[in-house]
Amino acid sequence: MNLRPLTVADETAAIRAHEALASEDFPFLFDFRLGDSFLAYVRRVDAFNDGGPFFTEGGVPGIFLVAECEGEIVGRLSVRYELNAYLREYGGHVGYCVLPGFRRRGHGTEMLAAGLDLLWRRGLDRALLTCDDDNVGSIAVIERAGGSYAKTIPGDQEGGADKRHYLFSRDSSPATLRSLKNPIVSPPGQKA
Ligand SMILES: CC(C)(COP(=O)(O)OP(=O)(O)OC[C@H]1O[C@@H](n2cnc3c(N)ncnc32)[C@H](O)[C@@H]1OP(=O)(O)O)[C@@H](O)C(=O)NCCC(=O)NCCS
């Protein structure tokens, strides 16, 4: 699996992925509506990855990458380098999704590892992962990767599900993640 920036060549695949995840109420592309210019969107993502202006969940600095396997987009990863009040409760540092046809092949676990790796490389020591209390798949991925359960908080005022909080720390990288090869992340700006 390769993690790389979104490119204009991804238009058809990314929009298909966006539609597929919309039925699960999960945004593949943040703040994107069908009919928006994809070229303009890619430029926005590039600008965000280069340091701003920030547009993904929470409006904080971070990085947005797509996961590719054998030439196909299989998911996406969003890493927040800082937390604001909303992210501290509901979003956490790392968000990822795997397209329905590519699940249960280890991609989710690998993206979690890559997201943590990006945070550690950025100098963070601890990471907060959140997930819906009823998201069986995400709970399994985080717990299997060694996330330490902290608490569950009530859903947001818009009727969201209760959120589980898990913590990872740089010093105690869990065995599952350590055993993964160093995830390949193409540097921002480099178009794979
Ligand atoms: C959650 C999600 C990212 C998991 O991705 P994935 O690529 O299938 O995860 P992995 O293959 O790394 O799974 C690792 C292990 O977690 C467990 N697991 C994963 N999905 C599971 C599910 N739906 N039910 C039960 N266990 C599950 C399994 O033990 C699995 O190992 P196995 O397949 O060898 O049994 C994916 O289902 C998804 O994108 N869901 C929608 C978006 C989402 O919820 N994102 C996370 C937000 S916090």
Atom of ligand 1 lying closest to residue 105 CA: 11
Asked whether residue 188 is assigned to any structural domain, the reply reads no
Predicted model pTM: 0.92
Asked whether residue 127 is assigned to any structural domain, the reply reads yes
At 85-96, the pLDDT tens digits run: 999 999 999 999
Asked whether residue 9 is assigned to any structural domain, the reply reads yes
> In this structure, which residue's CA is closest to atom 26 in ligand 1?
137
CATH of the domain at 118: 3.40.630.30
Asked whether residue 66 is assigned to any structural domain, the reply reads yes
Atom of ligand 1 lying closest to residue 142 CA: 16
Asked whether residue 142 is assigned to any structural domain, the reply reads yes
Atom of ligand 1 lying closest to residue 141 CA: 16
Asked whether residue 190 is assigned to any structural domain, the reply reads no
Chain centroid offset of residue 130 CA: 11
> In this structure, which residue's CA is closest to atom 41 in ligand 1?
97
Please give the residue that has the higher pLDDT: either 115 or 183.
115
Q: What residues line ligand 1, using a CB cutoff of 6 Å?
A: 24, 26, 95-98, 103-109, 131, 135-138, 140-141, 144
Local confidence band at 81 (pLDDT 50, 70, 90 cut-offs): very high
Asked whether residue 36 is assigned to any structural domain, the reply reads yes
Secondary structure in 3-state letters for 29-91? CCCCCCCCCHHHHHHHHHHHHCCCCCCCCCCCCEEEEEEEECCEEEEEEEEECCCCHHHHHHH
Q: Looking at the 3D structure of the chain, how many domains does it have?
A: 1
CA of 156 to the centre of ligand 1 (A): 24
Mean pLDDT check: name the lowest of 66-75, 116-125, 134-143, 174-183: 174-183
CA of 132 to the centre of ligand 1 (A): 13
- Residue 128: which residues within 8 A CB-CB, separation 6 or more? 83, 87, 88, 92, 93, 165, 166, 167
Asked whether residue 191 is assigned to any structural domain, the reply reads no
Segments forming the whole domain that contains residue 109: 2-183
At 104-157, the pLDDT tens digits run: 999 999 999 999 999 999 999 999 999 999 999 999 999 999 899 999 999 988
Q: Residue 54 has what pLDDT?
A: 73
